[in-house]
Amino acid sequence: MAIRIIVKDPDPVLRERAIQVTKFNSNLHKLLTDMAETMYDAEGVGLAAPQVGISKRVIVVDVGDDNGLIEMVNPEIVEQEGEQIGPEGCLSIPNLNGDVRRFQQIKVNGFDRNGKPITLEASDYLARAFQHEIDHLNGVLFTDIADSIYDVSAKPRGRGE
């Protein structure tokens, strides 16, 4: 296991469309394990592979609920419903938070680290975290879509994703 360096905006890797994973091998397992360790070390609630400089469709999320750590490969939102507006931060954009409009509930299809299909239904903050991380895989940052952005450098930071 290893903590990886978190890439910061405006690094161009954050703007690429990440590629689908086709090999569920030991490299993928190491990436997922390192991503989780990196996320916890940074006290974040989610991390996408482009944030550690790897342009692949891989995310980890742990919002501190009963789900614990969720690893998802090639995630895809297949259903969405409702709307929520709330604050977000990003480990790749230190010192900024923003109010972002998201779907209230989503259904996500993807794969676990071994290539087994998984489906997750999420609402509220977990749904927000997933939408934020999946945006990363498409080169989208929360600052692109936020209703408002505010500087939090003088205050303790919100949860980062």
Q: Which residues are annotated as a binding site?
A: 90, 132, 136
Number of Cβ within 10 Å of residue 83's Cβ equals: 10
Name the residue among 51, 14, 50 with its Cα closest to residue 139. Answer: 14
Distance CA(37)–CA(31), nearest Å, equals: 10
Our finding on whether 161 is near Co ion (CB under 5 A) is yes
Q: Site mask, Co ion, residues 38-77, x = CB under 5 A?
A: ----------------------------------------
Our finding on whether 90 is near Co ion (CB under 5 A) is yes
Position with the least CB separation from Co ion: 90
Strand locations in the chain, DSSP E? 46-48, 58-61, 70-81, 84-90, 93-102, 105-111, 117-123, 148-151
- Shortest reach from residue 74's CB to Co ion, in Å: 18
Q: Which residue among the candidates 71, 88, 133, 161 is catalytic per the annotation?
A: 133
Catalytic, 81? Answer no
Catalytic residues: 133
* Chain residues in the site for Co ion (CB under 5 A): 90, 161
